[in-house]
Chains A and B, each alone.
Chain A
Amino acid sequence: DVQMTQSPSNLAASPGESVSINCKASKSISNYLAWYQQKPGKANKLLIYSGSTLQSGTPSRFSGSGSGTDFTLTIRNLEPEDFGLYYCQQHHEFPLTFGSGTKLEIK
């Protein structure tokens, strides 16, 4: 199985700041990497797929980069609604696997 390692596990920032979340795959997954947002009481949201393609409805302050084994989710100009949990997921091969998550909190 492809192991997905996210860092940091916790992150604190203020509205208006920019943050980056990293995801490392245990083997090359080309650009088959997605990012999801999870918030209490709300359905999980697909933000980005194929490394850098924004899912319809994802604000442009979100961006994804990387290929091979190393990927980054960057959120610029943080809004209050951006705080929550973020997971990466490889969609290169079965079994599909997720990262361990990054909790983005308000500083």
Chain B
Amino acid sequence: EVKVLESGGGLVQPGGSMRLSCAASGFTFTDFYMYWIRQPAEKAPEWLGFIRNKVNGYTTEFNPSVQGRFTISRDNTQNMLYLQMNTLRAEDTATYYCARGRFGGGFLFDYWGQGVMVTVSS
């Protein structure tokens, strides 16, 4: 069974940093693109970025809205995905989701985690 499970959320002060983790299981992790998406309360989801699979060299792409502040990495030995968030702002407050890229590609998300809440506040 495919599973992705986020962890590491919580309260952080403006200007601070936080790293989210995502544990993946039930599939060959290195074969898939992995994505981060966030959703502020009562608002639409926002795609943050992704990291490609082994065949495509594990390169990354980001939404310009977070480019330069957020980075994505993966530990393929542990089947873990990470989102490093720096210089956090109040508007980064949201539920953050890890998602697997759809098998077959297409910049789509076929398995999502339950999400983890990040609150940026003093």
A binds B: yes
Q: How many residues of B contact A (CB 8 A)?
A: 21
Residues of the A chain whose Cβ atoms lie less than 8 Å from the Cβ of B65:
95
- Inter-chain contact A87/B113, CB cutoff 8 Å: no
Please report which residues of chain A, range 54-107, place their CB below 8 angstroms from some CB of chain B when the two chains form the complex.
55, 87, 89, 91, 94-101
Interface string of A20-61 (1 = CB under 8 A from B): 000000000000101010000101111001100001000000
- Inter-chain contact B45/A46, CB cutoff 8 Å: no
- Asked if B63 is at the interface of the complex by the 8 Å CB criterion, the answer is yes
- Inter-chain contact B112/A43, CB cutoff 8 Å: yes
Interface majority SS on B: helix, strand, loop or mixed?
loop
- Inter-chain contact A46/B102, CB cutoff 8 Å: yes
- Asked if B86 is at the interface of the complex by the 8 Å CB criterion, the answer is no
Residues of A participating in the B interface, judged by any CB pair closer than 8 Å: 32, 34, 36, 41, 43-46, 49-50, 55, 87, 89, 91, 94-101
Q: List 21 A-B contacts (CB under 8 A).
A: A32-B106, A36-B109, A43-B111, A43-B112, A46-B102, A46-B108, A49-B102, A87-B45, A89-B45, A89-B47, A91-B106, A91-B107, A94-B63, A95-B63, A95-B65, A96-B47, A97-B46, A98-B44, A98-B45, A100-B43, A100-B44
